[in-house]
């Protein structure tokens, strides 16, 4: 009995000793370098902030028996994406997408079952990828651990619909020789490739270093962009030469922190399908996306299409477009249009381009009446800010320096419910004031041009009637005098019968004196937002920035 007790005590001591070795050590840098933190198996850590190690781990060592496993999670309280680590050394967490992302950790009981797809690749596991002809890992398959420069030799070119990566990080490309649009796939299961535009498109594949940048094709395409997981062009990368409507499945959805743009400009957006806040990236290197508010927020990207160039300009020209951003049907004019219905563009304009050296007055009503706004030469990607969207009914070119019939009224800049607001950089401010001590405008008014020609027929009839009446007054010579006066009076009255003032309508220029220190009537403001220039007319001078909504419309 004593012997059995001793054996039991010895086994218990060994078990305790074994548990003592069940720990996990996190290191601040790759290769087990820098500051470290150790967690024991009996001490789960729900929030690494308390240890000063939240989102800081870059490499890990798991010690203990083979059955010991640890769960590491992106969010506190063991929430968010979690990965299970077996005992071994993990010199870098980049391949599994957890570099500087671990916020909570706990050991997993030996008897607890864990799904295979939750495990991180075992340390030192060979690179391996398996292609499936149908989604959800169905149909014919092909597995390899070697680079495949052309899948046509394996009868799998443009036939892959789902993938399983069991070891290493793989670069898959749309063209043979690792060219065309490429994506990085970390260890994991990809039941569909449609999310990021690679279904039935893969023609080559190879394993790459998890921290290396995938080599570019021999001839860099003109429309190429490379997204990197970390700032400074480090970490996993995604290369694209065509639009990606959804980054999910590429391994870089909401993870890109730096970008290189080859030559053509690209539009990158926070929402899938090119929605949400977007930013235009011109060719160049962007070592950090934080300043533009896009760090770890990009979900879709496409080549940026600049607005169409207007036709050649002689003196003054205006082009109206049916949709914002110079899209849709358009109408170009070099002459006044008093009724836009005649050209099929009444209440349809949403954006405008004014070319030449003349300003244009655009009005809500026919014949240049109603509320009017003066548009100086320039680009107006949206008329909403000035309250003229789908409202232009007539327009005309005005002389340089002329003022509209009424001072431009600023648009309704009040904030709408649930609008997200941003700050746009003001690039130019022009105060509109009177020139040469005068303020001039144009009015349409009625002008009396004089009386019409005398009514001759009425004069003859009046003279006859006047003579008859005069002849009946008095007698002798007095009667003769009365008859003569009656003829004259009757002729005068008859000549004016049916005669009216003639009234005409014409444009009249009016001017009045302005004080030497005249207050600006309004301000023409140009500002830049998401790579585009906008214009607005404001009653007060702006500061260095103005508040706008996500469509670039000013908000007070």
Q: What are the extents of the domains in the chain?
A: 18-118, 128-303, 316-398, 421-433+519-549, 435-451+500-516, 453-499
Bigger pLDDT: 343 vs 211:
343
Is 80 exceeded by the pLDDT of residue 209? no
| Phi/psi at 493 (5° precision) | -65, -45
Per-residue pLDDT reduced to its tens digit, 109-125: 888 888 777 787 766 56
Class of domain 316-398: mainly beta
pLDDT tier, 39 (very low <50, low <70, confident <90, very high otherwise): confident
Q: Residue 47: its pLDDT value, please? A: 92
Q: Residue 284: its pLDDT value, please? A: 82
Q: Residue 509: its pLDDT value, please? A: 56
Bigger pLDDT: 448 vs 353:
353
Is 70 exceeded by the pLDDT of residue 16? no
| Mean pLDDT confidence for 491-520 | 50
Q: How far is CA 333 from CA 321, 323, 360, 380, in A?
A: 12, 17, 11, 16
Bigger pLDDT: 347 vs 498:
347
Which CATH number does 18-118 carry? 2.60.20.10
Per-residue pLDDT reduced to its tens digit, 64-94: 665 678 999 999 999 988 888 888 888 888 7
Bigger pLDDT: 489 vs 275:
275
For residues 152 and 201, what is the distance between their CA atoms, to the nearest angstrom?
A: 12
| Phi/psi at 283 (5° precision) | -55, 135
| Mean pLDDT confidence for 483-500 | 46
Q: Residue 520: its pLDDT value, please? A: 58
Is 50 exceeded by the pLDDT of residue 404? no
Q: What is the DSSP letter of 77?
A: G
Tokens read off for 398 = 């005005």
Per-residue pLDDT reduced to its tens digit, 472-489: 444 444 444 444 444 444
Q: Residue 66: its pLDDT value, please? A: 58
Q: Residue 510: its pLDDT value, please? A: 58
Place of tokens 């990236």: 281
Bigger pLDDT: 182 vs 138:
138
316-398 has the same fold as 128-303: yes
pLDDT tier, 495 (very low <50, low <70, confident <90, very high otherwise): very low
Class of domain 128-303: mainly beta
| Mean pLDDT confidence for 432-455 | 49
Mean pLDDT of the chain: 74
Per-residue pLDDT reduced to its tens digit, 303-337: 887 665 555 545 678 999 998 888 888 888 888 99
Is 50 exceeded by the pLDDT of residue 294? yes
Is 60 exceeded by the pLDDT of residue 470? no
Is 60 exceeded by the pLDDT of residue 156? yes
Whether the CB-CB separation of 258 and 217 falls below 8 Å is answered with no
For residues 275 and 407, what is the distance between their CA atoms, to the nearest angstrom?
A: 37
Q: What is the DSSP letter of 213?
A: P
Bigger pLDDT: 546 vs 13:
546
Q: Residue 431: its pLDDT value, please? A: 63
pLDDT tier, 392 (very low <50, low <70, confident <90, very high otherwise): very high
């Amino acid at each position: 009995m004593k012997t059995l007790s001793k054996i039991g005590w010895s086994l218990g001591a060994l078990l305790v000793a074994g548990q003592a070795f069940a720990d996990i050590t996190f290191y601040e840098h790759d290769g087990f370098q820098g500051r470290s933190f150790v967690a024991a198996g009996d001490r789960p850590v729900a929030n690494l902030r308390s240890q000063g190690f939240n989102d800081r781990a870059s490499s890990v060592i798991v010690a203990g028996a083979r059955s010991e496993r640890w769960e590491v999670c992106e969010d506190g309280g063991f929430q968010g994406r979690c990965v299970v680590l077996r005992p071994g050394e993990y010199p870098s967490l980049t391949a599994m997408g957890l570099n500087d992302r671990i916020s909570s950790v706990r050991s997993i009981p030996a008897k607890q079952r864990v799904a295979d797809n939750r495990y991180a690749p075992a340390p030192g596991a060979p690179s391996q990828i398996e292609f499936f002809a149908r989604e959800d890992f169905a149909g014919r398959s092909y597995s390899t651990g070697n680079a495949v420069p052309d899948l046509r030799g394996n009868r799998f070119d443009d036939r892959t619909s789902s993938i399983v990566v069991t070891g290493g990080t793989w670069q898959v490309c749309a063209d043979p020789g690792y060219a065309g649009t490429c994506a990085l796939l970390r260890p994991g299961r990809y039941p569909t490739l449609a999310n990021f535009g690679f279904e039935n498109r893969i023609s080559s594949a190879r394993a790459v270093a998890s921290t290396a940048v995938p080599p570019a094709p021999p001839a860099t395409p003109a429309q190429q962009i490379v997204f990197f997981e970390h700032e400074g062009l480090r970490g996993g990368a995604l290369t694209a030469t065509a639009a990606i409507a959804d980054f999910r499945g590429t391994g870089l959805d909401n993870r890109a922190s730096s970008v290189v743009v080859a030559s053509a400009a690209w539009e990158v957006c926070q929402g899938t399908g090119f929605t949400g806040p977007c930013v235009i990236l011109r060719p160049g290197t962007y070592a950090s996306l934080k300043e533009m508010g896009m760090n770890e927020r990009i979900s879709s990207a496409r080549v940026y299409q600049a607005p169409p160039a207007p036709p050649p300009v002689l003196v003054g020209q205006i082009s109206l477009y049916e949709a914002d951003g110079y899209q849709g049907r358009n109408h170009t004019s070099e002459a006044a249009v008093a009724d836009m219905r005649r050209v099929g563009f009444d209440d349809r304009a949403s954006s405008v381009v004014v070319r030449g050296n003349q300003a244009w007055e655009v009005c809500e009503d026919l014949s240049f009446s109603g509320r009017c706004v003066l548009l100086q030469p320039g680009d107006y990607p949206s008329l909403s800010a000035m309250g003229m969207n789908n409202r232009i009914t007539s327009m005309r070119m005005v002389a340089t320096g002329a003022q509209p019939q009424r001072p431009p009224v600023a648009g309704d800049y009040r904030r709408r419910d649930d609008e997200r607001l941003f700050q746009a950089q003001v690039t130019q401010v022009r105060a509109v004031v009177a020139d040469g001590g005068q303020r001039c405008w144009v009015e349409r008014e009625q002008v009396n041009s004089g009386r019409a020609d005398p009514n001759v027929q009425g004069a003859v009839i009046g003279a006859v009637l006047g003579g008859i009446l005069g002849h009946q007054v008095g007698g002798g010579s007095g009667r003769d005098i009365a008859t003569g006066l009656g003829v004259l009076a009757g002729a005068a009255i008859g000549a004016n019968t049916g005669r009216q003032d003639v009234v005409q309508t014409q444009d009249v220029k009016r001017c009045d004196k302005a004080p030497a220190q005249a207050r600006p009537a309004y301000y023409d403001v140009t500002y830049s937002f998401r790579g585009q220039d906008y214009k607005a007319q404001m009653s007060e001078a702006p500061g260095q920035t103005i508040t706008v909504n996500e469509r670039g419309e000013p908000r007070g």
